Structure 1
């Protein structure tokens, strides 16, 4: 599958996010502890918000641990909202247009998991994408079609409801084609102001997802831990697996849940697909 992180808070070096933690995303690209695969070497991507309304993106088909351009770019880029994703393909080609995060306007999207038997259900799902949105699909992954289905169902107005509708359609389509468990997912999306992340799977055994504990609480628990003192109180991370072993720093997102991160506030709600 894949591994990803969604960061929001005080502006930080993208390189510090990707390389410095003891279980950084770059380390996970070679030695994931909790992923379906140990190695996630089928490319990577980074999306970040800066001076422009539309987020910047960098994609490569190189393994994250072996790309000098990523290290150079990340060392110089700073942002208060970053999406980063390392890819383990579930069957689609290793090419830049298949690397996450995907972008539409000021929105970013990334996914860990798969739409099962995608080749079987792809035609039906693609035909459900709004005609005016369809030209934006550049790659061949199930994850990008999932994104455009969510956009079709109103992601820009109500992200949780749109994701629920997209998942409902994917499940209905899959089961109509004889797929027992049509979707496995942890997915994250952002408009640059808030982040929404969902953990769900048709079989109820979803890939791992965690969010960081309140920074001010950690700062009180670990007064001699220097990294915590350089971050604002509204700093939050949502990750596929913890970036380090600091006790109490991470909380697991429950099965079938949606977490919304807006500033320093987090809201956790049950997630249930909506009937198409």
Structure 2
């Protein structure tokens, strides 16, 4: 399984997530503690937003711990919204096109998880894409294809709803083809303004997701596993969607019916200094 970290708030240097913390993303690339595999050495990538609507991106197939350029870039680039990912491949070769984050227009996307029996579902999944999105597919992973399906189902219009529709389509497709239904999906995605995350699995074994306040004036970080031993990290439950926006953090129930569940779940306050947002206990 992969590891990732994302941030939205007042501008921070990328190193605040990628290299500096005690359990930084680079540390997790060779010593993850809350994943099935401790090593995530099949490439890495970062996507960040600046003055232009579309994100900048840097990806490579080297293990994150061995790329001196990544450390240099993380030390120099400062951004109010960025995504960073280290990959442990579950399918698709070790090549740059398969490294996260994936981007399309103003959107960026990264994923930890899998689609079961993907080799049998891949072609009908691809057939659902309009030409515009099909032509944008450059890699071979289930992750990139889930991102393009979400775009197909209206990510611009309703990010959480489009994600639910894409995952629901894959589950129904597996049933239709007589294949095992297995979707494990913990993903972060952004349009350059808000940061979204979803934790969901059809077998209730979703990859982990944590959140904590970070930086000045109400910034928040979403991660696969905590970056340090600070008790500010709150685990986001399976079956949840997270939206980090101007007013803080919103956590809601998430499912793959025709529409996501919209009711707010019971919330408790984040630790002092967290700003306006709230998280599940």
State the partner residue of 1:180: 180
- Aligned partners of 2:5 and 2:17 also within 8 Å: no
State the partner residue of 1:73: 73
- Aligned partners of 1:169 and 1:275 also within 8 Å: no
Map of 1:2-151 to 2, 5 A cutoff? 2-151=2-151
State the partner residue of 1:225: none
**Two-structure CA RMSD over aligned residues (Å):** 1.3
- Aligned partners of 2:17 and 2:227 also within 8 Å: no
- Post-superposition offset of 1:275: 4.4
Q: In the aligned structure 1, how far is the partner of 2:181 from the partner of 2:226?
A: 27
Q: In the aligned structure 1, how far is the partner of 2:216 from the partner of 2:74?
A: 20
- Aligned partners of 1:165 and 1:275 also within 8 Å: yes
Stretch of structure 1 that moved more, 65-74 or 150-159: 65-74
Q: In the aligned structure 2, how far is the partner of 1:186 from the partner of 1:167?
A: 12
Aligned with 1:133: secondary structure? helix
Q: Which has the higher contact order (CA 8 A, sep 6+)?
A: 1
Q: In the aligned structure 2, how far is the partner of 1:177 from the partner of 1:63?
A: 37
Give structure 1 regions of 4+ aligned residues with deviation exceeding 2 angstroms: 175-182
> 1:257 aligned to 218, 240, 244, which one?
240
Stretch of structure 1 that moved more, 27-36 or 170-179: 170-179
Alignment of 1:271 onto 2:279: no
What TM-score, normalized by structure 2, do the two folds share? 0.89
Which one has the bigger helix percentage? 1
Alignment of 1:204 onto 2:188: no
Map of 1:235-250 to 2, 5 A cutoff? 235-247=219-231, 249-250=232-233
Q: In the aligned structure 2, how far is the partner of 1:275 from the partner of 1:38?
A: 36
- Aligned partners of 2:19 and 2:74 also within 8 Å: no
Stretch of structure 1 that moved more, 51-60 or 171-180: 171-180
Q: In the aligned structure 1, how far is the partner of 2:179 from the partner of 2:204?
A: 15
State the partner residue of 2:273: none
- Post-superposition offset of 1:117: 1.1
Alignment of 1:171 onto 2:171: yes
State the partner residue of 2:265: none
Query: Residue deviations 1:85-120, cap 9 Å, x none?
Result: 000000211111111111011110110001111111
- Aligned partners of 2:43 and 2:94 also within 8 Å: yes
Q: In the aligned structure 2, how far is the partner of 1:91 from the partner of 1:62?
A: 17
Aligned with 1:69: secondary structure? helix
